[in-house]
Copies of this chain bind each other. A is one copy, B any other.
Amino acid sequence: MRVDINSDMGESFGPYRIGAESGRLMPHLTSANVACGFHAGDPRVMRDTVRLARAFGVGVGAHVGFPDRVGFGRRAMALSGEEIATDVLYQIGALYAFCREAGVPLRHVKAHGALYNLAERDEAVARALVEGVTRFGAPLVLVAPEGSAMAQAARAAGVPLAREAFADRAYRPDGTLMPRREPGSVITDPGEVARRAVRLVTEGTVESAGGGTVAVGVDTICVHGDTPGAEVLAAAIRQALAQAGVEVAPFPSPAGDPPPPSQVA
């Protein structure tokens, strides 16, 4: 048994730091979703984040979002499919340049914020996102939850999928996430999060909001970097997974594996 742990990284901008704990969280990850300058990030932050990922042997992916910096890509925008596809393609290319510089493969793509939320359920948006990925013409994995419109669009286009699940979020009986604004939707106790992570990987299920059991496919577990103490959470997940005999390793990508860590945390 094996699973990946991913987190959104590189969201600082200019003089502004977000996730000052990047250096602390990175050692616990196996994949990093790096912002590409549309909703967050800038060329210096991208350079640093890719280098940090390389130092820890963490796989690099493009975290693509809406062109809305002041809104951090969290506000839905009514872009056409072609606007989404070309914005995604642009962002992939920009990050790819920093991967080339660092000598690491660009392995995956994950949508950010409002683009992720829309592409979960809107087929046209999901297809446009995948279209942006396939236009790059290199083998990239899409990180997306099982059962989403994104997952469906990726399969239809022959794009490999890394199924994302959340150990720190409550699921509804239908396998979708309970919205953040609802009480009990976010789980903060590290022990409980770690237990859910183990169950996700070993049983492929999670306890749903009503107390029942729901099947959730998982290749990668998302750790939210903006949660206070995210590195503690990630460490707890890793330890519990190790004790349960689960290997924590980057999901396979046709783009290749990240190079081995070049330094120890």
Contacts and interface: CB of A to CB of B under 8 A. Distances in A.
Interface residues of A, number: 46
Contacts of A101: 89, 135-137
Contacts of A103: 137
A71 interface: yes
**Stoichiometry (number of copies):** 4
A78 B75 contact: yes
A83 interface: yes
Interface in A183-225: none
A80 to B, nearest CB: 8
Nearest to A84: B43
A61 to B, nearest CB: 15
A157 interface: no
A24 interface: no
B97 A93 contact: yes
A2 interface: no
Nearest to A75: B78
Given A43-B83, A44-B86, A93-B95, 14 more contacts: A37-B90, A43-B86, A43-B87, A67-B68, A67-B70, A76-B77, A76-B78, A77-B77, A91-B94, A93-B94, A94-B94, A96-B97, A100-B136, A103-B137
